[in-house]
Amino acid sequence: IPVTTQGSQQTQPPQKHYGITSPISLAAPKETDCILTQKLIETLKPFGVFEEEEELQRRILILGKLNNLVKEWIREISESKNLPQSVIENVGGKIFTFGSYRLGVHTKGADIDALCVAPRHVDRSDFFTSFYDKLKLQEEVKDLRIWIVVLFVFQIDILFARLALQTIPEDLDLRDDSLLKNLDIRCIRSLNGCRVTDEILHLVPNIDNFRLTLRAIKLWAKRHNIYSNILGFLGGVSWAMLVARTCQLYPNAIASTLVHKFFLVFSKWEWPNPVLLKQPEECNLNLPVWDPRVNPSDRYHLMPIITPAYPQQNSTYNVSVSTRMVMVEEFKQGLAITDEILLSKAEWSKLFEAPNFFQKYKHYIVLLASAPTEKQRLEWVGLVESKIRILVGSLEKNEFITLAHVNPQSFPAPKENPDKEEFRTMWVIGLVFKKTENSENLSVDLTYDIQSFTDTVYRQAINSKMFEVDMKIAAMHVKRKQLHQLLPNHVLQKKKKHSTEGVKLTALNDSSLDLSMDSDNSMSVPSPTSATKTSPLNSSGSSQGRNSPAPAVTAASVTNIQATEVSVPQVNSSESSGGTSSESIPQTATQPAISPPPKPTVSRVVSSTRNAATSGNAATKIPTPIVGVKRTSSPHKEESPKKTKTEEKTSSTDLSDIPALPANPIPVIKNSIKLRLNR
């Protein structure tokens, strides 16, 4: 019989192991950690990240009604297909949730992501016909579009998956990999959101600590303009996996500590080593999974964060060189601030202060998308926004550009003609040019980069049959001191005397810009409820009121830039902050380290911009790409590493799913953005 001492009797059983490596620390929280966590909660409250209990109960009630509606619909389908009565009585059907609501980190008024799971005899076509019709009859449904239901004030996005089961039991666990057998790829993709969300919740040591930490990190990311999967930053599931990995490395820590450790871990992470929450498993279902040893294209992913459910995928394949640089720098600044907070030198509110993107850079590219109706604007803006990362990737390959940083927040754009009904949206991209030391005069021609981007957008719009007359894209170069003429006043936080110099918009069609604006703002960033209300943009400028049709793509003027104005932020600063930041971060041991692709050498021939005559039928065709620009580039991260000479000409655009241009492209005035850097 082993002898036990008093100390050994109090020893707790071994703690469950989470993640693919052992924890960095098992330290329990101290009293100061608890106080800091309470302060964190109080700081988060004004930002609306916590939902009231009453609103939560309404969500539960609405989802319950939707779940009953699904069961009723599936029974009706079963009867119409003459299934046995014994099967009909137990046929089931269920609504599952995923995303921020399932994780328990949704904010006030947030959408709900849902999945309708049906048995094998219910077809996808049934979902989009008979179930759609059934929803239309419900008085609670205020708005209904394909995949989207608005019940009362909540928007619910519904996916559909048909399982190879005769009935759907109430206790069905979607994490079971055997459910994927004999399913088509659309159903597997639909199931993926729920499977990933459920796996994340099962892979964290303490769900409450995980949720509070994730709320803080998501708010921080939104405030710092790095929350957008479509524009090459991270989306909700990626932020959740980074926080979950932090929780695995510090399983006993509470939120105040976990927020600090989050910045410590990922400011020092050796990208592109992947972030994994569990060892990848092979289910022998022959589905494509992320594996750089097998898939050459996976080797070009710059910041891989791998989903824990089979088939494992990289949730951050949109990340570019610039967006990764921006995020890593934000991680370092977050670490410095949380170091101060832990030393009682700063408050939590400092972490959530929104930096002024429009004071950060001296040069910007402004993209404007416009359409004649609000409905068309929504479609057009969605397409343009989904392709902006292609423009960023193209700008990154320019030998004179160090960084291209797109702000995920879009803004209402000034109208070109106040007398014409037009809906316009604007995005802003900050540019950092390389310092010029060996050259007295340096010309930078961005014409090719802009034109290849607009060609891609128009090509896809035409081929998806969504292109309409007067859907336009404009691009211009703007200096920092000129931004106040384009942006709403509340956006430009830093008060300074602005130059009275107007934004030069000497477009090739010689039109000027009217600085009135429409009232639409397509994205909001969380801010404290006590913050100053949005103030409208003061109108300035005038319209020449031209009657000639506006071209599909307008152009900006050539701008001279003094070398003293061109500065490069220290994005890859190696400074470390605070005495608590010396721990070593375990990288993924089972995956080979992936070397990032080398920065390409870009050779350019600056060609003169060609003016094509506009014609009355201009809106029925699409732009031609500019030719005569010679460049070499590394493979685009979504393309095969091998490229032919023909492909090199359009290396900045992802055209894999887009047919070739029609034979008679639209004659259009090209974007011409040429910058001259003078010493």
C-alpha R_g of the chain:
27
Of residues 459, 490, 455, 492, the one with CA closest to residue 364: 492
227 annotated active-site: yes
Q: Which residue among 227, 250, 310, 317 is the active-site one?
A: 227
CA distance 562 to 109: 47
- Per the structure block, which two tokens stand in for 61? 């009630």
One-letter amino acid of 162: R
User: Is 236 known to sit in a ligand binding site?
Assistant: yes
Select which of 71, 132, 157, 576 is catalytic: 157
Exposure string of 370-384, with b = 16+ CB inside 10 Å and e = fewer, is bbbeeebbebbbebb
Q: Is 80 a catalytic residue?
A: no
| Residue 208 is a catalytic residue | no
Residue 603 is assigned to a ligand binding site:
no
Residue 22 and residue 248 in contact, taking contact as beta carbons nearer than 8 Å? no
Select which of 33, 94, 113, 320 is catalytic: 113
Q: Which token pair is 402?
A: 């160090």
Query: Considering 94, 218, 621, 637, which one is annotated as catalytic?
Result: 218
Side-chain half-sphere exposure of 224, counting CA atoms within 13 A: 22
Lookup: tokens for 672? 């011409």
142 is in an annotated binding site: no
* Cα angle, residue 284 at apex, residues 280 and 285 outer, rounded to 5°: 105
Taking the C-alpha atoms of residue 78 and residue 80, their distance in angstroms, rounded to an integer, is 5
Q: Which of 637, 503, 485, 499 is nearest to 557 (CA)?
A: 503
Q: Per the annotation, does 98 bind a ligand?
A: yes
Q: How many CB atoms lie within 10 A of CB 640?
A: 12
Whether 237 has a binding-site annotation, put simply, is yes
Q: Which of the residues 18, 33, 78, 100 is marked catalytic? A: 100
Torsion from C-alpha of 342, 346, 348, 351, nearest 10 degrees:
-100
Task: Give bridge partners of residue 441 from the DSSP assignment.
Answer: 678
Label the pairing between strands 401-406 and 516-517. Answer: unpaired
Q: Identify residue 531 by its one-letter amino acid code.
A: A
Q: Is 577 tagged catalytic?
A: no
For the record, the structure tokens of 218 come out as: 């998501």
**CA triple 333-331-306, angle to 5 deg:** 175
How far is the C-alpha of 566 from the C-alpha of 564, rounded, in Å? 6
What span, in angstroms and rounded, lies between the C-alpha atoms of 183 and 478?
A: 51
Residue 626 counted as an annotated binding residue: no
Q: Dihedral, CA atoms, 612, 615, 619, 620, nearest 10 degrees?
A: -100
Strand partners, 115: 96, 159
Residue 500 DSSP code: -
Residue 235 assigned as binding residue = no
CA angle 88, 90, 95 (to 5 degrees): 105
113 is catalytic: yes
The answer to whether 415 and 362 are in contact (CB under 8 A) is: no
Q: With contact defined as beta carbons under 8 Å apart, do 577 and 444 qualify?
A: no
Q: Binding site annotation covers 232?
A: no
Q: Catalytic pick from 111, 123, 518, 520?
A: 111
Q: What is the C-alpha separation between 258 and 212, in angstroms, rounded?
A: 10
Q: Residue 361, annotated ligand binder?
A: no
Q: Which residues contact 316 (CB under 8 A, 6 or more apart)?
A: 229, 234, 238, 301, 303, 304, 305
Asked if residue 482 lies in contact with residue 502, where contact means CB atoms within 8 angstroms, the answer is: yes
Binding residues: 98-100, 107, 111-113, 157, 218, 227, 236-237
Active-site positions? 100, 111, 113, 157, 218, 227
Binding residues for ATP: 98-100, 107, 111-113, 157, 218, 227, 236-237
Binding residues for Mg(2+): 111, 113, 157
